[in-house]
Each structure stands twice: as structure tokens, then as C-alpha cells.
Structure 1
Amino acid sequence: MSAAPILITGGAQRLGRHCAERLCDDGHPVIISYRRERPALDALRERGVITLPADFSSEAGIRDFITRLRDTTDALRAIVHNASDWLPDTLGEEAGANFEQLFRVHMLAPYLINLEAHDLLEACGEPLRDIVHMTDYVAAHGSRKHLAYAASKAGLENLTLSFAARYAPTIQVNAIAPAMIMLGEDDDEAYAEKARAKSALGTIPGPGVVYESLRYLLDSRYMTGVTLPLDGGRHLR
């Protein structure tokens, strides 16, 4: 257990919330960012999680978050970049706006936070310090239906390599690339069956496998610049 907190961006729901709860179970102090108020935040706050609102849709919003983060803590054990957005590919002016939005959330926010919070990681005082980027299966494989999303996640995967080289040997920088970890609230059984068929293991495992991968990276002393594929053998199909 570290006395310095672990930051999880986008930690109010789904994978981010699960990881925040599990880190609390393991005795780690946690800070999360969130985009909008939701009931789940109250439960996290009751467990001692520090919750900071954040708007990563603009550089000003990202820098405002960094300022408030620095006002909240003088050290970090790790940064987990989980904040994500999902916008369609369209035609016309909206196409460019959507691409820019995905770029800011998936690339600019991690880029600026990694640079500006570097000293917070160095101040941790622990032998282990980590940055973990949550990318996606499509970062390496592309997507015919979500080009901008895939491209921005691929950019984040590339940042993993660059920051790993820049921050070695004192900070490990790695990524996790999941595929179909959990269903959405509106997904029916027909969708679930189709999703299970995409992986060699034929299952939708739930968020626990993401935390297991995160825990592995946080505990490792000899891994940096690596992307862990978490796809159930989807690449074999």
C-alpha cells in the first residue's frame, strides 16, 4: 500500500469505477476525475475517494483539472488514464469537431497530465511509480466503423512508448488494450451473443480482468513501454 494516491481519470463509472473500488479494497488512497455528477460518486466519496470534476474537451479544461489536482495532492503513486469518449464518424463540420474531441480526451489530456504531473510521481517516495494508458483493441487493428476513435486510441498507444522512454528508469509507462470487457446497459442478449463470438474464449469477462491487469502492471518492477492485450483471443479470429 502506498501513502500517495493513485489517480484514475474517468473513474465514476464502468471500468474506472471498478478499479477505483478495488484499489480502495486493497488499501490504496484514490483520486478520480469525473465528467458529470452521478449517484455512484456519493458511494465512492463515502469510501474516501477524492472526486475532482474535469472537462477534457478543451485544453483550458485539462489545465484547470491539473491545477486542481496539484492543489489536492503533492504526490502520486500512479496515473491511470481511463477517461474515454465514443463519437461516431460523420460527414460535414461535425466530423472535424468529433475528431478533435476524441483527440483531446484520448491524447491531449494524457499528454499534458503526464508532463505537468511528472513531479508528483517523482515525489511519491515509493520505489514503484506508474503511468497506465487504457487504449483499445482497435488501436492496433483499426476500425471500419469508428475511424476517429481508433486513430486517437492508437495515438495514446504511441504515447505509451514515448513516455516510457522519456521517464525511464524512475517511472514505468504501460498500456492495457481491452476488447469487449462488459456490456452496456442497453445491450440485449442478441448483441451479447454476437460479442462473445468475436473472441476465441467466447466470453464477456467483466471488469475484474481489467483490474487484474492493472494490478499486474502496478506490481511489476521490470516492465515499461508495453501494451497488454486483453481481448480473449479476439486477434485469433
Structure 2
Amino acid sequence: MTRKMPIIITGGGQRLGLACAKALSAQGHDIVITYRTAREDIDLLEEQGISCIQADFSSVSGVDDFIATIQDRYSAIRGIIHNASEWESEEGCSDTARLMEKMWHVHVFAPYRINLAFEALLCAGSDQNGHADIIHMTDYVTEKGSDKHIAYAASKAGLANLTCSFAKRFAPQIKVNSVAPSLLMFNDGDDAEYREKALKKSLLRKEPGEQEGVLAIQYILDSRYMTGRTLSLDGGRHLA
């Protein structure tokens, strides 16, 4: 069992999770990421000393296997960032029961089980570091729902509620907070019409990039007096 006290980032193989892994590693943190699909970036992360664990959070066994791996390797954890996510729509879906089950497993069941299983490891991290953190990556849609991604929005709302419950359960040793992004960055396949429409949904009308999410996570990790709260990264979309 290693003496390292890592920050774990689920879904750390791409986009915001990848950016956070690189940034926090550069600051000297020991980083562990999970990924579902092998990518070229995974090899690059391992070359930089970041531990990469393949995990599938859409099943009970996948969550349990990940928990067992971490408990076997580490005696303390500095923090965990629940960034793993699925994005599927009801449009064209022939099995909405499976869709809801998958969304709930990844966004609610997995963080719930992992938080409970790692309580002792996080408390040990708090004893060594002064505090430990759980960060849930939720979504702007928890405030207003989504007619095209109903299961996704409901499960992210469930994750947001876990923030309040675990903040109460784990205080004062462990801080539990959320980051709720709206648009941070486009996908490569997003066309010009979609991009223009999306930008007009917020007051600031910009694509801030992954660094905006990295800064929010860094703020929470550095804070010593914030728990049970949500940082909203939406460019004033709630007022647009």
C-alpha cells in the first residue's frame, strides 16, 4: 500500500477531466484518473506519472472493482472529483429504462457508493492535509431540466443533492461541493449554427474553455470554509 495521498479524478481521460489532471499534477499533486475507453492521452498521462485506472461506472461490479483497487493501493486520499459522465438523449432511444438506469448508475450510484466507501481514506487525508475534498461535477440543467435529455438532467440533479447530504455527513473533516458548468467548450463536430445559438444563451456569450473549470476546482481545493455549495459556471445564463 503506497504512502501517496492522491486526488482522484473520474473520467479524467478527456476534456475537462484531462485538463484538471494535467493542471493539478503540474502543481505537485499525486493524481489518479479513471477512464472508460483507452485513448492516446492515457499513455501520455502515465508517462507524466499520473496513475490511470480503466473503470466502467455503469454497472455495480464496475464500481465495486474500482473501489477495491483504490482501497488496496492507498491508505489516505486528498480528494475525489466525480467528473465521469454520460450524455445520451431520449430522442431516438428505444429503451428509456436502460437509459435512465445508465444515467443514474454513472451520475448518482457510483458517486454515492464511492463516497461512502472512501470515507475512512478521506478522513485519513484530512488528518494529514488539514482537510479533504469531494467535488461533484453537476450541470446547469439541474436548475431548469431538459426536454431532450430528461434522464441526464434528473441524474445530475440527484448528484447535486448528494452534495448537500454528504456535506452534512462528512463535516468537519471533509468538504463536499459541486461545480455546475453550462457551456465550457464545444465539441469538434459542433457546426457554426449550433455554436452561435449556444453562445447566445448566456449573457457573456463566450466559450470560456476548460481552464474555467480547472480554476473552479482549484478554488474549492484551496478553500477552507466552503462546503455544501455549488459554483455555477454559466456566463450569466440564468439571466439571459
Please classify the TM superposition score into its range, dividing by the shorter chain length. Answer: over 0.9
Code of the residue aligned with 2:47 in structure 1: it is: E
Cα distance, 1:115–1:194 mapped onto 2, change above 3 Å: same
Deviation at 1:194, TM superposition (A): 1.3
What is the TM-score of this pair, normalised by structure 2?
0.95
Per-residue CA distance 1:16-59 (angstroms, 9 max, x = gap)? 00000000111111000110111010111111000011011111
Instruction: Please provide the CA RMSD for this pair.
Output: 1.4
1:215 to 189, 202, 218: 218
- Matched with 2:187 is 184
- Matched with 1:53 is 54
Rounded Cα–Cα distance in structure 1 between residues aligned with 2:161 and 2:177: 10
Code of the residue aligned with 2:122 in structure 1: it is: L
User: Are 1:130 and 2:133 matched, yes or no?
Assistant: yes
What is the TM-score of this pair, normalised by structure 1?
0.97
- Matched with 2:111 is 110
Deviation at 1:189, TM superposition (A): 2.1
1:137-216 matches, cutoff 5 A: 137-216=140-219
Per-residue CA distance 1:42-94 (angstroms, 9 max, x = gap)? 11111100001101111111001100111222211000000000111158861
Rounded Cα–Cα distance in structure 2 between residues aligned with 1:218 and 1:179: 21
Asked if the contact 2:91–2:148 (Cα under 8 Å) also holds between the matched residues in 1, the reply is: no
Rounded Cα–Cα distance in structure 1 between residues aligned with 2:229 and 2:223: 12
Rounded Cα–Cα distance in structure 2 between residues aligned with 1:70 and 1:48: 20
List alignment gaps of at least 5 residues for structure 1: none
- Matched with 2:81 is 80
Rounded Cα–Cα distance in structure 2 between residues aligned with 1:69 and 1:39: 23
Per-residue CA distance 1:81-128 (angstroms, 9 max, x = gap)? 000001111588610000000000000000000000111111111102
- Matched with 1:94 is 95
What fraction of aligned residue pairs are identical, expressed as a percent?
50
Rounded Cα–Cα distance in structure 2 between residues aligned with 1:67 and 1:44: 22
- Matched with 1:17 is 18
Q: Secondary structure at the match of 1:141?
A: coil
Rounded Cα–Cα distance in structure 2 between residues aligned with 1:92 and 1:47: 40
